[in-house]
């Protein structure tokens, strides 16, 4: 998807020709759409490939060695087919583990998504913060390292939600998600200790902002929900340069790629189109366990 910015003109001096960057936004499923929204807002001039490894979903249940192998295999093919200039790993479960292997394997910049523990420690007034993530992310050494480096003075509760990402997927596919199910998943985030209460919860799985409305509704008390997506978009823009912020005449290309594509319902197609992803490709890559 290398398109000339001056395409359409008859005279195209090579010196002015600037290639259009392609950004690949990658997740196990639909959660990365919450990051995609911010990235496309910030980088209106870039072409976009949104890739969901739905054949591997949910990553939160995969053992670490299997997850590294899976992400490398999927990325190998995505890079060969779509030739991205930059990749956003819009998945905490993968980023907290696989980034070093990806950076060693590919000569492309990778921007990861990791728990916003430093901003949470800066934002809390009660000193009680909760990290809401997948069981995989909360178990990582990387996540525990962030806690000890940046939140040593805080009381941090790590919450590994087993079903919340799947509930977010169901909601986007147009299925009914009961408030009680959401409430049960987020309940351990709300801690009261010696007259203090949790006041900051990090959304450390990219699926969770999709459920922000019901989470706010069922929360036992109001908290600040930290979504790192705006910071990720700023980092992408910084790496690609300010030219990528400007919209191009004729718009940009955007496609969605799925490795299974079994759950693509009508409401999901509408949701994807609403996010600029009208073109959907299935590039099958079964998970072999
Ligand atoms: N969206 C992914 C994340 O940010 C996780 C969902 C999954 O378990 O696959 O962690």
Q: What is the pLDDT of residue 2?
A: 39
Q: What is the pLDDT of residue 7?
A: 34
19: three-class secondary structure by DSSP: strand
CA dist 236 and 46 (Å) reads 11
Residues of the chain with pLDDT under 50: 1-17
Q: What is the pLDDT of residue 18?
A: 54
CA 94 / ligand 1 centre spacing (Å): 8
Phi and psi at 191, nearest 5°, equal -115, 135
Q: Taking CB atoms and a 6 Å cutoff, what residues make up the pocket around ligand 1?
A: 27-29, 31, 57-60, 91-93, 134, 137, 165, 205-207
Class of the domain covering 22-113+230-282: alpha beta
CA dist 127 and 197 (Å) reads 8
At the second CATH level, the architecture of 117-227 is 3-Layer(aba) Sandwich (3.40)
CA 150 / ligand 1 centre spacing (Å): 23
CA dist 105 and 80 (Å) reads 13
Intrachain domains 22-113+230-282 and 117-227 with the same fold: yes
CA dist 271 and 173 (Å) reads 8
Q: Where do the domains of the chain lie?
A: 22-113+230-282, 117-227
CA dist 23 and 39 (Å) reads 9
CA dist 183 and 194 (Å) reads 23
Residue position matching structure tokens 């290398």: 2
Contact indicator for 210, 248 with CB cutoff of 8 Å: no
Q: What is the pLDDT of residue 8?
A: 31
């Amino acid at each position: 998807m290398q398109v000339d910015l001056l395409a359409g003109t008859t005279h195209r001096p090579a010196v002015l020709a600037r290639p259009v960057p392609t950004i690949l936004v990658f997740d196990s499923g639909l959660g990365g759409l919450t990051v995609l929204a911010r990235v496309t807002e910030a980088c209106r001039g870039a072409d976009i490939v949104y890739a969901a490894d739905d054949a591997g979903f949910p990553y939160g249940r995969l053992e670490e060695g299997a997850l590294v192998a899976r992400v490398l295999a999927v990325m190998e093919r995505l890079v060969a087919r779509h030739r991205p200039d930059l990749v956003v790993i819009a998945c905490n479960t993968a980023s907290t583990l696989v980034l070093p292997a990806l950076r060693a394997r590919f000569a492309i910049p990778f921007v990861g998504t990791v728990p916003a523990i430093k901003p949470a420690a800066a934002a809390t007034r009660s000193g009680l913060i909760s990290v809401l993530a997948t069981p995989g992310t909360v178990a990582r050494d990387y996540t525990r390292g962030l806690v000890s480096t940046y939140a040593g003075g805080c009381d941090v509760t790590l919450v590994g939600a087993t079903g919340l990402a799947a509930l977010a997927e169901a909601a986007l596919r147009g299925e009914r998600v009961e408030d009680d199910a959401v409430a049960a998943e987020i309940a351990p985030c709300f801690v009261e200790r010696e007259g203090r209460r949790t006041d900051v919860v990090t959304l450390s799985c990219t699926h969770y902002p999709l459920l922000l409305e019901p989470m706010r509704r069922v929360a036992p008390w109001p908290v600040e929900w930290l979504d790192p997506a705006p910071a990720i978009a700023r980092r992408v823009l910084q790496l690609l340069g300010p030219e990528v912020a400007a919209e191009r005449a004729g718009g940009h290309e955007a496609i969605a790629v799925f490795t299974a594509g079994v759950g693509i319902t009508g409401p999901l197609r509408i949701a994807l189109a609403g996010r600029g992803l009208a073109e959907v490709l299935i590039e099958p890559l079964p998970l072999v366990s």
